[in-house]
Amino acid sequence: MSSTQSDSLEEFIPASQTELSRFMTDNAATSQKQIFPVGGRTSLSVCCASSLSGIQVCTSQLNRVIDYPVRDMTITVEAGMRIDHLNEIVSAEGQRLPVDVPQSNRATLGGIIATNTSGPKRFSYGTIRDYVIGTSAVDGTGNLFKSGGRVVKNVAGYDLKKMLVGSLGSLAIISQVSLNLRPKPETLSMVWFTFDSYQKIDRALEALTTSGTRPTAIEYCNSKAARQIAAESRFELPCENDVICISYEGSNNEVHWQTNKIIEEWKEFSPLSAQIVDSDHATRLYNAFVEYQTSSDDPVTLKAVVLPSQMLKFVEAATELNIAVQAHAADGIVFGHLPDSASSLEDVKHILNRLKKEPSLQTGYLTIYQCESEWAEALPLFCSSPPGWSIMREMKNAFDPHQLLNSRRFAELVET
Amino acid sequence: MVEQTSQTITQKTPLLAELKKGSSDFSSLVQQLTETVGKEGVLYDAQELLVYECDGYIVDKNAPDIVVFPTSTEQVSKIVKLCNQYNVPFLARGAGTSLSGGCLPIGGGVMIVLTRMKQILEINLRDRYAIVEPGMVNLHLTNALKGTGYHYAPDPSSQGACTIGGNIATNSGGPHTLKYGVTTNHVLGLEAVLPDGSIIELGGPTAEVPGYDLHGLYVGNEGTFGICTKAIVRLTRDPESHRTMLAVFQTIADATRAISEMIAAGIIPSALEMMDQGIIEAVEEAFHFGFPLDAGAVLLIEVDGLEIALDEEVRQILDICNACNVREIQRADTPEERLLIWKSRKQAFGAIGRLSPSYCTQDGVVPRTRLPEILEFIEETSKRYGLKIVNVFHAGDGNVHPILLFDERDQEQIQKVLEASEEILEKCLELGGSVTGEHGIGVEKINFMSRIFNQTDLDAMESVRNIFNPRQICSRDKVLPPIQSDEKSTVKQSHPARHAPH
């Protein structure tokens, strides 16, 4: 254990689950200071932590492998383990956690569960919730509780681990996690298409629902985002127009067959260009897509979740507002980096208000994904009430009765 | 014949009222329920109620006082509000295929049967979801999707009878969940009537919703959080092609080694099912598939995906099987042959009647690599108790289903079955597994909960249940043991008996 203290924010670094539990019990019983769980500190700007006072509980020392029965293709690790480290361990055995994580050299497992982080390959592999088979966590009063176990199939008891996915550290601090792993594919290739109209893109995306191929990811980016992604990948790609980039994974044989097949299938939608990107270029390009959601220096990054069929309508509106847009097209998840010209809070609110009126958001949600700390208090994390909000509040009260765990973050879930 | 269980079910929550037939409350409740769902939607005749006294778990039985058949969410809500008004317990039931007593109406009360709510409300291929009512039979959804290139992936072996609402309640599995995941991986959202009668939506058709994953939490609640009245489920692309094989091994050890080697080699078959010698005999005698009767075990292996990739995958599987001393491999070259192979697996339970008058199926899970140990333990247990135990199970998930054969007319055998089952499940826990992979805790395994979880874990679960169902008026006394840990479940096992196929 170690701890530090600044003017308004102390730091506590537990060395074990027991220590974490004891600390939380003591805090709840005595000082009742606000607690801010942090892993790799990659998502703090989701809600301004720096302007708050209390204690940062850092999981950096909870980073051990508890058990890795390789041939069972499961692993149990402490939640503070960095994703790169986890990947390194399982990759040596030809396995992987098939979840895309930006800033994986800093992000921790507990952090990505708490923030429900995902990326392009969620289309084919799902999200972290599909791989977590067991968790241990410490609630706001110090109770260390577990859910699930270490086997891939288990329905004993309530699925409390689901409740922690995306909870933003407001219910409990995740301390240990068991994961189901998957085999590493042999290869990755991508096909970069450019189009000159939303209509053509829409028809092409619709045709993907019956394509002979099985993409692992389907990414859309407008030309503004395409330029940034292409530059990041250090590979010359056409990016004067909107782009659809489709990924394939698997054996060399099947990936090669699919990249050619999709080009053939999409000829009828008259793309301006179609370019296969493979080998190291594909990895770099893919990573650029993964990182893009958090890579911007722009003041605000939005996240919208809409029905996939509504994605382009939302994107069109965002593009008109000069927003750089990347979308997991088949999942309807859109990330938008606001332009530098949105330099004041009023500018940001104006853009938000325009987007909130979009009919494509009627079945969907708009979120402030990241923003500068000085604006955080003035912007709601989520722009509409989630379904089940009253139950969520009761859960918050049950697991954190003194409202100590990232409480502001929870309260800011909805616009007041 | 199954003996009638003695009345061992006790009232645990004294605040709830007991419905006495003939009382003014009973008559009044029946009348109001009839006004809500129509005369044809209410049963209260003792003979008619017998059908609903248990589900696939028939060790304990208790008939409800009234059965109602709503046809809409609004009707369910009204029924639930009436139950609250009269202070009587209630619970939901689908097709009654649950295997752990999830549909046992402890304390009597009102049973809300959802089989008339079976409509497909929407199929949206572009956005890859369907909205269905809870009484929809699992297989009917997949049948409705035939020709679209999509299907609903969770496929419990009872999928021809079980309902989507029931699948959600138990987070059920099936042979193809090895690759595609269990029910929770395919539920995007749902509508539910909470135990106070209010209607709530959780999740939704979009890929994610803000806040806590309440629909994920709801899946697998075994009916204790309320009544699911609508489900938004994910649709999955059909694979382009399949390869289905039967690999015959001389010993169980060789078969389980092949399973382990396949997973370790990074091959995730879409199904990997195992049958041991005992079940092979029964299946062969019943259906004459041509299984060698002296084989120790047979693996049903299916891979699916793009046609161009499958032959290579099959080659790897053959290599692994050969390295594990496979005796022979039968391949299904036509859809008819594939169907035949699957028939041998899915009808295995139907063949057991040839072996024994009664049987009891268990539902343990172990890490995949511990399969040899649990199977060896099951064999030892079989010898120690003088009970025949056969195995047919989801080997790729480590989800074993030892089937204990006995004669329920023999009290001594019944006791042996109870004790042997308990030992096997204990061994699963000792090997790092669980006591249920897909059937649920229900009332059957409620006493295991305090062995799997400590009191803090159970308290956390209790606090979640209390949010949804504070008075335990809905599906009472399921999943969680009584608060006093030394107190046994309010339902005592009288004897095990025949379980439905799964």
Query: The domain spanning residue B394 has which CATH number?
Result: 3.30.70.2740
Give the pLDDT band (50/70/90) at residue A51.
Answer: low
Let me know whether B224 and B254 are in one domain.
Answer: no
Place of tokens 């361990």: A89
Q: Assign residue B251 the CATH number of its domain.
A: 3.30.70.2190
Q: Chain B window 124-183: which residues touch A at a Cβ cutoff of 8 Å?
A: 124-128, 149, 170-171, 173, 177, 181-182
B13, pLDDT greater than 80 = no
Per residue in B341-399, pLDDT tens? 888 787 787 788 888 888 888 999 999 999 999 999 999 999 999 999 999 988 999 99
The count of structural domains within chain B is 3
Q: Considering the domain boundaries, does residue B220 fall inside one?
A: yes
* Alpha carbons B312 and A370: distance in angstroms, whole number: 45
Residues whose CB falls within 8 Å of the CB of residue B190, separated by 6 or more in sequence, listed in order: B168, B201, B202, B203, B215, B218, B228, B230, B231, B232
Whether B410 and B360 map to the same domain: the answer is yes
Burial (CB count <10 Å: 0-12, 13-18, 19+), residue B292: middle
Residue B292 has a pLDDT of 86
User: What Rg do the C-alpha atoms of chain B give, in angstroms?
Assistant: 23
Q: Are residues B400 and B413 in the same domain?
A: yes
Q: How far apart are CA B78 and CA B73, in angstroms?
A: 9
Residue among A72, A258, A330 minimizing CB distance to B369: A72
Contact criterion met (CB below 8 Å) for A245 and A190: yes
Burial of A321 (0-12, 13-18, 19+ CB in 10 A): middle
B407 in any annotated domain: yes
On whether both B322 and B256 belong to a single domain, the answer is: yes
Q: What is the mean pLDDT of residues B100-122?
A: 96
Q: Is there a single domain that holds both residue B339 and residue B424?
A: no
Which residue of chain A is at minimal alpha-carbon distance from B125?
A: A209
Report the pLDDT value the prediction gives residue A414, as an integer from 0 to 100: 57
CB atoms within 10 A of CB B351: 20
Q: Of B394, B412, B440, which closes a domain?
A: B440
- Return the residue matching tokens 């791989």: A131
**CA pair distance A333, B302, nearest whole angstrom:** 33
Nearest to B468 by CA among B114, B205, B197: B197
Where does B150-276 have alpha helices with state H?
A: 164-170, 177-180, 214-218, 252-264
- pTM, two decimal places: 0.94
- State whether residue B257 sits within 8 Å of chain A by CB: no
What is the pLDDT of chain A when averaged over all its residues? 92
The percentage of chain B sitting over the pLDDT mark of 70, rounded to a whole number, equals 93
Neighbours of B463 (CB within 10 A): 18
Q: Which residue has the higher pLDDT, B144 or A3?
A: B144
Residue B11 reports pLDDT greater than 60: no
Residue B274 domain-assigned (yes or no): yes
**What ipTM goes with this model?**
0.95
A127 touches chain B (CB under 8 A): yes
Put simply, whether A235 touches B (Cβ < 8 Å) is no
Residue B311 contacts A where some CB pair is shorter than 8 Å: no
pLDDT of B355 reads 85
Kind of pairing, strands B110-113 and B90-93?
parallel
d(CA B157, CA B438): 11
A364 touches chain B (CB under 8 A): yes
Q: How confident is the model at residue B194 (pLDDT cuts 50, 70, 90)?
A: very high
Weakest-pLDDT range from A146-150, A162-166, A342-346, B146-150: A342-346
Q: How far is CA A238 from the centre of its chain?
A: 27
B1: pLDDT confidence band, cut at 50, 70 and 90? very low
What rounded mean pLDDT belongs to chain B? 90
Residue range A102-112: average pLDDT? 95
User: What pLDDT, on the 0 to 100 scale, is given for residue A416?
Assistant: 43
| Residue B115 resides in a domain | no
Q: At residue A415, does pLDDT exceed 60? A: no
Residue A247: CA count within 13 A, CB half-sphere = 31
Q: Confirm if A370 and A336 have CB atoms less than 8 A apart.
A: no
**Chain A nearest C-alpha distance from B287 (Å):** 31
Q: Domain range holding B125? A: 120-237
Instruction: Mention every residue, 6+ apart, whose C-beta is less than 8 A from residue B484.
Output: none
